[in-house]
Amino acid sequence: MKLKKSKCRQLCFMIVLCVTASLIPGCVIAKHSIDPQQQVEINSMVKDVMEKSRIPSAGIAMVRGDEIEYLSLGFGDESNHVKINEHSLFQLGSTTKAFTGLGILLLEDEGKLALSDPVSCYIPWFTATYQGETIAAEDLTIADCLYQTSGYTNDERNYPSATAEMTLAENIQNLSNRELASAPGQQFFYANTNYNLLGLIIETVAKQDYQSFIKERILQPMGLIHTDCYTSEVKERMVTGRKLSFGNTYLLETPAIKGLVPSGYMISNASDMGRWLQIQMGIIEISPQFTRIIEKSHIANPASVVDEKTCYASGWFIDDLNSVIYHSGGTPNYSAKIAMKLSDGIGVCVLTNLNASANTNYLADNILLMLEGKETTPYQHDIWFIIDAVFSTITFICALLTGFLIARLFVISRQIKNNDRKKTTINRKRFTGNIIPGLLLIVTAGVIIVLPTIFKSDWLGMWLWAPVSLYIGIFMLSIFSLLWLITTLIISKYPSKTSD
């Protein structure tokens, strides 16, 4: 009797699972479920987060030992409403770094380079400075780049990102002789420059381009047949990347930039990422050599201290407190996160087609917690979502107030023309009416100056990443502030007869 009740309960869970799936647009669930009740809870959480954060589509792989569960939500292209599945392609963002790191460790394992080798051994023309002095060639090593202790940062004002037409070598050449934020080997600073440097070293040592090397030496041996570098050829087969603005998402296409691929521009799908997780956790073994280098890639560098519980390894963050190995990634129109717990044999990869890294990270972190049977953490909006909400509101309010001021100025000009307003000297009492709009104009100027500093970029560099509402909101706030100040100045100079 107990057995029958158990089977009945399991059947009920499966029915609920199917009903939940049917209510989620574009939802595809693999036939081999890890746990029906757990899957229902995960589905509900994912759907809720995607609605709150405006994420249009997500490809998710969940691993428990030798079992993989796929969850696919949304459409590959909003225009044709083709549902995505575990084979749908997304950009990987900075989770690419684990592949680049593995490429370096593979070459080291074969005796073709050493992590202690100076970068200048392979890129002799590349230099860097610290405190105004050119650093000794031997001071900047491959290990410094691999473990993010080179002194480079992600401040694009000092280390500009590659443009669309740049090759990897041209990108690195553009970054040569730049000032470091710290002496090499001294401090952890996360920087894409490090892994782009490693990509060029791979090309030099292997005597072939980065894409070919990674494909032939890493991806094909591992059976990751859908994973590749982001190129113009594969772009057409991807889930369309999108960007948030005014509470909605719209299509955003980005160029394939060869100069940035090693640090964050590979592509893959949930199917390959599920296999990648199992390879990383030792559930699938490729060869003794790959076992060696993968295990080494998970060894944190003691000098690469991220915070009190986390250090950096070879393209992975190592959270010793929670025994989690992870890396997140984001591009202007995609986000990704991979996280795994080797001790429990569980892992998750979340791929989304929106620049919403905090929410993608939230999904991955909480799916991992749910696979562990733990409680989830409170939801928080991504910074770009908050900025979009704030500046969408500012745009709307300023547009209304600007319209009112324009109408008001029209009335005032008619009153001046009809001598209903007489020119007079601005006294202290009338001058105080200009203080608030003047202060608002100063605050607006402060926002224009400070915001790029916070995001370590400039307004042009932020264009791809930030919501359009930010730019329109700033513009409307500036117009309104200036128009308000002009209006109060005119009223001060030409008071109405009744106001006197």
Category of 72 on φ-ψ map: left (φ > 0), alpha (ψ -120 to 50) or beta:
beta
Radius of gyration of the chain (CA): 27
- Convert 78-92 to b/e letters by CB count within 10 Å (16 or more is b): beeeeebbbebbbbb
pLDDT for residue 435: 85
Cα–Cα distance for residue pair 264/330, rounded to 1 Å: 8
pLDDT tens readout for residues 127-145:
999 999 999 989 999 999 9
pLDDT digits (tens, 9 = 90+) for 49-60: 999 999 999 999
Q: Which two tokens stand for residue 101?
A: 């790191």
pTM (predicted TM-score): 0.88
Tokens of 339: 């996280």
What is the residue-wise DSSP string for 298-347? TSPPTT-B-SSSEEE-SS-EEETTTTEEEEEEEETTEEEEEEEETTTTEE
Q: Please determine, for residue 21, whether its predicted confidence score (pLDDT) is greater than 70.
A: no
SS3 call for 62: strand
Using pLDDT thresholds of 50, 70 and 90, give the confidence band for residue 4.
very low
pLDDT greater than 50 at residue 115: yes
> In this structure, what DSSP letter does residue 443 have?
H
Is the pLDDT at 284 greater than 80, yes or no? Answer: yes
pLDDT per residue as tens digits for the range 183-207: 999 999 999 999 999 999 999 999 9
* Window from 219-223, 358-362, 408-412 with minimum mean pLDDT: 408-412
Average pLDDT (156-180) is 94
pLDDT at 408 over 90: yes
Triad 230, 180, 142: Cα angle to 5°: 60
Query: What is the pLDDT, as a whole number, of residue 428?
Result: 61
Provide the pLDDT confidence category of residue 430 given band limits of 50, 70 and 90. low
Residue with tokens 């390879």: 279
Encoding tokens for residue 211?
């894409």
Is residue 11 pLDDT above 50, yes or no? no
**Would you say 354 and 242 are in contact if contact means Cβ atoms under 8 Å apart?**
yes
Q: 63 in helix, strand or coil?
A: strand
Q: What is the pLDDT of residue 352?
A: 98
User: Distance between CA 476 and CA 454 in Å, rounded?
Assistant: 21
By C-alpha distance, which of 420, 414, 429, 474 is closest to 447?
A: 474
pLDDT at 467: 94
Q: Would you state the pLDDT for residue 240?
A: 93
Three-class SS of residue 79? coil
Class of residue 239 by CB neighbours under 10 A (exposed 0-12, middle 13-18, buried 19+): buried
> What is the structure's pLDDT at 433?
65
The CB density around residue 63, as the number of other CB atoms within 10 Å, is 25
List, in order, residues 6 or more apart from 187 with CB less than 8 Å away.
149, 151, 181, 303
Say if CB 125 and CB 169 are below 8 A apart: no
What are the structure tokens assigned to 197, written together?
């440097």
- What single-letter DSSP state applies at residue 480? H
Question: Residue 36's pLDDT is what?
Answer: 80
Residue labelled with tokens 């074969």: 110
How many CB atoms neighbour CB 456 within 10 A?
15
pLDDT tops 80 at residue 427: no
pLDDT band at 69 (very low <50, low <70, confident <90, very high): very high
**pLDDT, position 234:** 83
List the domain boundaries for the chain: 90-381, 384-493
Mean pLDDT estimate for the chain:
89
Q: Give the angle 222-146-301 at the CA atoms, nearest 5°.
A: 105
> What span, in angstroms and rounded, lies between the C-alpha atoms of 353 and 74?
10
Least confident residue range of 12-21, 253-262, 281-290, 292-301 = 12-21
Answer yes or no: is pLDDT of 125 > 60.
Answer: yes
Q: How far apart are CA 194 and CA 178, in angstroms?
A: 13
The pLDDT of residue 13 is above 80: no
The confidence score (pLDDT) of residue 10 equals: 44
User: Would you say residue 19 has pLDDT above 50?
Assistant: no
Q: Are 145 and 315 in contact (CB under 8 A)?
A: no
User: What is the DSSP annotation of 338-379?
Assistant: EEEETTTTEEEEEEESBS-HHHHHHHHHHHHHHHTT-PPPPP
The pLDDT, as a whole number, for residue 491 is 87
Q: Are strands 346-352 and 334-341 parallel, antiparallel or unpaired?
A: antiparallel
Whether 100 contacts 381, CB under 8 Å: no
Helix residue ranges, H only, 376-434: 383-417, 428-431
Specify the higher pLDDT residue, 254 or 270: 270
In this prediction, residue 432 carries a pLDDT of 67
What is the C-alpha to C-alpha distance for residues 244 and 388, in angstroms, rounded to an integer? 7
Q: Angle at Cα 94 formed by Cα 64 and Cα 350, nearest 5°?
A: 35
> Phi then psi for 467, rounded to 5 degrees?
-60, 145
- What is the token pair recorded at 497? 């007869």
pLDDT in tens, 330-382: 999 999 999 999 999 999 999 999 999 999 999 999 999 999 989 999 999 99
DSSP state at residue 279: H
**Sign of the Cα pseudo-torsion (148, 153, 159, 164, in order):** positive
Mean pLDDT for 460-475 is: 92
**CATH T-level topology, domain 90-381:** Beta-lactamase (3.40.710)
Confidence band of 16 (pLDDT split at 50, 70, 90):
very low
Strands 310-312 and 242-245: unpaired
Residue 289 pLDDT level (bands cut at 50, 70, 90): very high
Q: Which of 23-32, 313-322, 408-417 has the lowest mean pLDDT?
A: 23-32
For 300-321, what is the mean pLDDT? 96
At residue 286, φ and ψ (nearest 5 deg) are -90, -50
Q: At residue 22, does pLDDT exceed 50?
A: no
